[in-house]
């Protein structure tokens, strides 16, 4: 194991201890192939599954894997009209398993997420029976304040470019604290504890994934 990989594992082990204290289950995988295998192990036959928008899930291959699986997938990317999206969201919140990433995770095990519409953070908070988070070790931050700064300056700008949004950060590459119609930083959610023990499971991956 390389020094960097050993560092990632040591750091992940300490964060997992904090996650457990906060009522969340924590796991560590050395690489994304291992993370994909672990994520799939949580699924049960005949279950209902969904996932939030995530570059990380795409990078480990989970988004594609769920689309070709034998599970019942509630796929928000398969609908277009406002009516279809509303009906799909009503199904997604009843999922047995909801997959997502986290924009940042503190050394103390707090999850930091910033959304536009808020459908992803809403499912993190309540609805789906189990929430499974996959996050690369590049998402680790020292505290909540630095986590919010990371999301707004390192995650949001490339995401606005990816989504074709017309925001200052898409052009400047850094947050301008905008209130534009295309702003994707509308909801800021800090998860400091899971009120339902072990409902939230966090898989930390010893690679740089997502934004």
Residue 67 lies in a domain: yes
Tokens of 106: 């503190």
Distance CA 53, CA 71 (A): 19
Q: Is the pLDDT of residue 146 over 80?
A: yes
Of 180, 198, 184, the closest CA to residue 53 belongs to 184
Residue 80 lies in a domain: yes
Q: Give me Rg for the CA atoms of the chain.
A: 17
pLDDT score of 1: 78
Of 207, 175, 161, the closest CA to residue 35 belongs to 207
Number of folded domains that form the chain: 1
CATH number where 74 lies: 3.40.50.10420
Burial of 86 (0-12, 13-18, 19+ CB in 10 A): exposed
Residue 20 lies in a domain: yes
Local confidence band at 70 (pLDDT 50, 70, 90 cut-offs): confident
Residue 46 lies in a domain: yes
Residue 154 lies in a domain: no
Provide the b/e sequence for 34-68 (b: ≥16 CB within 10 Å).
bbbebbeebbeeebbbbbbbbbbbebbebbeebee
Q: Is the pLDDT of residue 69 over 80?
A: no
Residue 186 lies in a domain: no
Distance CA 53, CA 130 (A): 17
Provide CB contacts within 8 A for 3, sequence distance 6+: none
What's the whole-model pTM score? Answer: 0.95
Distance CA 169, CA 155 (A): 10
Helices marked H in the chain:
3-21, 32-41, 55-60, 62-67, 82-92, 119-125, 144-150, 156-163, 168-172
Q: Is the pLDDT of residue 162 over 90?
A: yes
Distinct helix (H) and strand (E) counts, the chain: 9, 10
Residue 156 lies in a domain: no
Residue 103 lies in a domain: yes
Owning domain of residue 39: 3-108+118-140+194-205
Provide the percentage of residues in the chain whose pLDDT is more than 70.
100
């Amino acid at each position: 194991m390389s020094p960097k990989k050993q560092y990632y594992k040591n750091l992940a082990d300490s964060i997992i201890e904090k996650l457990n204290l906060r009522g969340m289950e924590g796991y560590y995988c050395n690489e994304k192939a291992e993370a994909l295998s672990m994520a799939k192990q949580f699924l049960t036959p005949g279950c209902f599954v969904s996932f939030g928008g995530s570059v990380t899930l795409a990078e480990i291959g989970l988004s594609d894997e769920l689309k070709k699986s034998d599970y019942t997938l509630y796929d928000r990317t398969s609908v277009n009209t406002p009516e279809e999206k509303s009906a799909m969201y009503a199904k997604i919140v009843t999922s047995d398993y909801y997959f997502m990433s986290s924009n940042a995770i503190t050394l103390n095990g707090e999850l930091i997420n910033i959304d536009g519409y808020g459908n992803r953070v809403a499912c993190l908070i309540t609805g789906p029976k189990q929430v499974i988070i996959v996050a690369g070790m590049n998402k680790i931050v020292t505290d909540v304040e630095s986590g919010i700064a990371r999301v707004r300056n390192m995650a949001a700008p490339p995401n606005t470019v990816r989504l074709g949004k017309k925001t200052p950060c898409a052009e400047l590459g850094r947050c301008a604290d905008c209130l534009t119609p295309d702003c994707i930083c509308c909801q800021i959610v800090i998860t400091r504890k899971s009120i339902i023990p072990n409902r939230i499971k966090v898989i930390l991956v010893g690679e740089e994934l997502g934004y």
